[in-house]
Amino acid sequence: MSAIPQHADLMICVGTLITPNGAERADIACRGGRIVALGALKGRWTADTTIDATGLHVLPGVIDSQVHFREPGLTHKEDLEAGTRGAVLGGVTGVFEMPNTNPLTLWQADLQAKLDAAKGRAWCDYAFYIGGSGVNAEQLQTLESLPGCAGVKVFMGSSFGDLLADDNTVLKRILRHGRRRMAVHAEDEARLKERKSIVEASGDVCQHPEWRDVDSALLATQRIVTMAEDTGRRLHVLHVSTAEEMQYLARHKRCVTVEVTPHHLTMAAPECYQRLGSLAQMNPPVREQRHQDALWEAIRKGVVDVIGSDHAPHTLAEKAKPYPQSPSGMTGVQTLLPVMLDHVHAGRLSLQRLVDLTSAGPARIFGIEGKGRIALGYDADLTLVDLAARRTITNDWIASRSSWTPYDGKVVTGWPVHTIVRGQVVVRDEALVGAPEGQAIRFLETPDKKTSPFELPQPLRVKNS
């Protein structure tokens, strides 16, 4: 007598899954927003919705742990709806958003306002950083534990007002008040002020990496890592851009995790500035080829933990201002996965390693609950990609309110086809479907734990027959 088939909300059939065991051909059943069965499920499960994943690779949902969606206060550049719409079109299922909005995200009310604004408008799941500052340092341990908070973000340079934390005394206060991993933008503000006259005199954007030179990054990174080690605080250094920083950070991995960005891995000076002008202007800068080579070597050696986009849009009119009045920042959340899949196609890294850097890595180091891997009981966040698909990235494809990408015209191999957030199909056959039903990302009560305490919804592992 045959068993009665079990029923799922969604089934992904005959895809090549990238799991902790490597690549394996299997089906996935999703129910109640979570993965409830893996294996050969045909005839044993039925579903309301089925996706044929033949020829596709199924990745754990991509998590972009550094985006600037500009809401509130700067929504002419970007907002939560457009930013998350671009995210899911690019295969991203979760984002961490930064605190340099207007008003700044410094207090519980600021965080709650962002959470309220995201409800019913965000296409993917989300969390928001609290800015670490001299005005809230003693409250950070409470603030970082609030639901929907990704942790504390500190700007040692390239910021303004209460969000700039370049003084050692303030930095130590911030480091001592909290226990979660703290993210930092490490550029030495004093050196940046000292050297700005170089570009004010020339007005040449090609000198952007000369103004914000290697030492401005290295000095700040060395300073914050030393203080973190002294205070016993875990640290996450964002958008590392220099060979010298990577050499230093490789010796301090006990308490430090490292992020790199697609633009630092893909573009190189001076060519990018000659071709794109201020559209290539980011902080820290895109640098010469030797630095890009060092970032790739750091990926190969395991120094790098995460790839984040640092999606930071400005309008084309703002970017057209004479340098250095032009603002630094570019779009990136929607192109993160296509650009990195193209690197996979070129043989620069394996698909398994990419998954570690964009799914498992963020979940591991930030203590995200129930995300980052394809496993029973985990959220059904899935990114289905066609590794053989050739596409051209264009400005017309970009959902951002800023409506441009530095990769306009770039041909890539590897493309996101379907995006699934907690079992809800939000992109199917490269087109947006459904409604924005993103939720706040959950974090483990103890971020150091290696497993999640959440209840598993009747998981079942079906053996291949």
Of 304, 336, 366, the position where a domain reaches its end is 366
pTM score, whole prediction: 0.94
Q: Which two tokens stand for residue 274?
A: 């000659």
Write out the H or E segment, with its range, that includes residue 126: strand 125-131
Q: Which residue bears the tokens 């060395």?
A: 222
Structural domains of the chain, count: 2
Residue 303 lies in a domain: yes
Whole-Å CA distances, 158 to 56, 151, 227, 323, 328: 41, 19, 20, 16, 9
Three-state secondary-structure class, residue 130: strand
C-alpha to C-alpha distance for 440 and 442, rounded to whole angstroms: 6
Q: Which domain holds residue 49?
A: 6-58+382-387+414-462
Task: Name beta bridge partners: 154.
Answer: 184
Residue 224 lies in a domain: yes
Residues 205 and 147 in one domain: yes
Residues 89 and 110 in one domain: yes
From the list 394, 362, 358, 191, the residue with the least C-alpha distance to 284 is 191
Catalytic residue among 310, 342, 379, 386: 310
From the list 438, 408, 405, the residue with the least C-alpha distance to 423 is 438
Q: Which two tokens stand for residue 115?
A: 């959470």
Provide the CATH number for the domain around residue 22. Answer: 2.30.40.10
Residues 25 and 90 in one domain: no
Residues 256 and 339 in one domain: yes
Residues 294 and 329 in one domain: yes
Residues 289 and 183 in one domain: yes
Bridge pairing between strands 382-392 and 411-421: antiparallel
C-alpha to C-alpha distance for 150 and 432, rounded to whole angstroms: 27
Provide the CATH number for the domain around residue 237. Answer: 3.20.20.140
Residue 392 lies in a domain: no
Residue 402 lies in a domain: no
**310 an active-site residue?**
yes
Residues 83 and 138 in one domain: yes
Residue 361 lies in a domain: yes
Whole-number pLDDT of residue 157: 84
Q: 341 with 357: CB under 8 angstroms?
A: no
Residues 342 and 425 in one domain: no
Tally Cβ neighbours within 10 Å of residue 201.
9
Three-state secondary-structure class, residue 465: coil
From the list 11, 12, 16, 10, the residue with the least C-alpha distance to 55 is 16
C-alpha to C-alpha distance for 449 and 152, rounded to whole angstroms: 19
Residues 336 and 457 in one domain: no
Whole-number pLDDT of residue 160: 72
Query: Where on the phi/psi map is residue 203: left (φ > 0), alpha (ψ -120 to 50), or beta?
Result: left
DSSP symbol at 440: B
Instruction: Compute the half-sphere exposure of residue 39: CA atoms within 13 Å on the CB side of its CA.
Output: 14
Residues 37 and 71 in one domain: no
Residue 404 lies in a domain: no
Residues 49 and 121 in one domain: no
Q: Which two tokens stand for residue 282?
A: 């980011």
DSSP-H helix ranges across 149-242? 168-176, 189-195, 197-202, 208-211, 214-231
Per-residue pLDDT of the chain (465 residues; tens, 9 = 90+): 467 889 999 999 999 999 988 999 999 999 999 999 999 999 999 999 999 999 999 999 999 999 999 999 999 999 999 999 999 999 999 999 999 999 999 999 999 999 999 999 999 999 999 999 999 999 999 999 999 999 999 999 877 788 888 899 999 999 999 999 999 999 999 999 999 999 999 999 999 999 999 999 999 999 999 999 999 999 999 999 999 999 999 999 999 999 999 999 999 999 999 999 999 999 999 999 999 999 999 999 999 999 999 999 999 999 999 999 999 999 999 999 999 999 999 999 999 999 999 999 999 999 999 999 999 999 999 999 999 999 999 999 999 999 999 999 999 999 999 999 999 999 999 999 999 999 999 999 644 444 333 333 333 333 332
Task: Tell me the torsion sign for CA atoms 61, 67, 71, 74.
Answer: negative
For the CA atoms of 208, 300, 367, 135, the dihedral, rounded to the nearest 10 degrees, stands at: -20
C-alpha to C-alpha distance for 187 and 190, rounded to whole angstroms: 9
Whole-number pLDDT of residue 176: 97
Q: Which amino acid is at 43?
A: G
Whole-Å CA distances, 144 to 224, 236, 403: 19, 15, 33
From the list 273, 261, 334, the residue with the least C-alpha distance to 299 is 261
C-alpha to C-alpha distance for 14 and 50, rounded to whole angstroms: 11
Residue 230 lies in a domain: yes
Residues 333 and 451 in one domain: no
Residue 397 lies in a domain: no
Tally Cβ neighbours within 10 Å of residue 247.
14
